[in-house]
Amino acid sequence: MFSWHETALLELAKQRARIAHALLVHGREGAGQIEFALALSRQLLCESPTEQGLACSRCAACNWFALGNHPDFRLIQPESLEPDAENEAQSARKEKKSTQIRIEQVRALQDFLAVGTHRAGYRVIVLHPAEAMNAPTQNALLKSLEEPPPATVFLLATSRPHRLLATVRSRCQRIAVPFPDRSQALRWLEGQGVPEADALLALSGGAPLVAARLAEADPLRRRLIAQLRDPRFDVVAATEHCLRVEPAEAVAWLQRWVYDLLSSRLCGKIRYHLEDSATIPRLAAALEPAAVAGVLRALAGARALSQHPLNARLFFEDLLFKYRALWGSP
Ligand SMILES: [Zn+2]
């Protein structure tokens, strides 16, 4: 359980006996919606909860939940998020896996809902991320939300509740997942053994889970930024770096770097790259703000390329040439 979830989970524990049958568990990206939904599932399923209503971690239900095989629990998520045993060589195949929750997955719930619960308590279904359901899939779910079987709780976890149908949203009680403050986030990151937690947290807009994810790809990001610090860098080599991660991730790295250059040039402020607070003003001094803003705009227009590797290569090369040209390098 994340420390910043604690108060909200305790509050829900008080409502254990009269919990709504559908909850929209929403919050800012990186607040940990799925972790919150799972912690709530666990405390609802626990068969000997603490006085406060939290999961005991010792009963049969808690053990099954920890092992991922509680008979009254289902986690519905896209195939691409399912853990699997495939090795590195096969992981290229991953791109082919669906990033959507398929309608069949929701229809298959009918069998699970048709029978009574295995234990005497609740039955819990987590859908994550809920916005990964298209409209027909949401409509298939809607039937169960409208006429829920007894003792059944649906948890729809999402950071984009506006992408859900109004009819689905209106069936759910909204639960806001709290976002950690800076000290909570830092303490958690340090507990995870993330080095330079401070700098990564700034890079992630304060979201510790995003920072932790970033930490894994961080050596790559650092090598790219190291190249960008020298206006005569090798564009082809830098493009190779960009192509080794999801295009959206590389675009985000570049956006934050160029943002800091522009922000430093315009108002002397650096938001993301605190460790470069000496280098950035020096680099930015020679820049024409309008031209930097143009590169930022080009980055923002990058969404369409995400699924096309060839486009991605051309895109990054073109963009890095533009970036280099900011200093007049050919
Ligand atoms: Zn328990």
pLDDT truncated to tens, each residue of the chain (330 aa)? 799 999 999 999 999 999 999 999 999 988 999 999 999 999 999 999 999 999 999 999 999 999 889 999 999 999 888 876 454 444 544 456 888 999 999 999 999 998 888 888 999 999 999 999 999 999 999 999 998 899 999 999 999 999 999 999 999 999 999 999 999 999 999 888 888 899 889 888 899 998 988 888 888 888 899 999 998 999 999 999 898 888 888 998 999 999 999 999 999 999 999 889 999 999 999 899 999 999 999 888 776 665 566 678 888 999 999 999 998 865
Please report the domains of the chain, with CATH numbers, ordered by start residue.
3-179 (3.40.50.300), 183-325 (1.20.272)
Rounded distance from Cα 78 to ligand 1 centre (Å) = 28
Rounded distance from Cα 259 to ligand 1 centre (Å) = 48
pLDDT digits (tens, 9 = 90+) for 244-263: 888 888 998 999 999 999 99
Rounded distance from Cα 109 to ligand 1 centre (Å) = 25
Rounded distance from Cα 241 to ligand 1 centre (Å) = 47
Rounded distance from Cα 271 to ligand 1 centre (Å) = 44
Rounded distance from Cα 107 to ligand 1 centre (Å) = 30
Rounded distance from Cα 121 to ligand 1 centre (Å) = 12
SS3 287: coil
If residue 156 lies in a helix (H) or strand (E), which one and from where to where?
A: strand 152-158
Rounded distance from Cα 74 to ligand 1 centre (Å) = 17
The pLDDT of residue 87:
45
Classify residue 158 by burial, with Cβ atoms within 10 Å: 0-12, 13-18, 19+: buried
Rounded distance from Cα 53 to ligand 1 centre (Å) = 10
Token pair 């609740």 is found at: 122
Rounded distance from Cα 42 to ligand 1 centre (Å) = 8
pLDDT digits (tens, 9 = 90+) for 291-303: 999 999 988 877 6
CA 126 – CA 141 distance, rounded (Å): 12
Cβ–Cβ under 8 Å, residues 212 and 66: no
CA dihedral 73, 77, 81, 85 (to 10 degrees): 50
DSSP state of 72: T
Token pair 């809607």 is found at: 142
Rounded distance from Cα 34 to ligand 1 centre (Å) = 20
From residue 132, alpha-carbon distances to 27, 78, 100, 113, 127 in Å are: 16, 7, 5, 21, 9
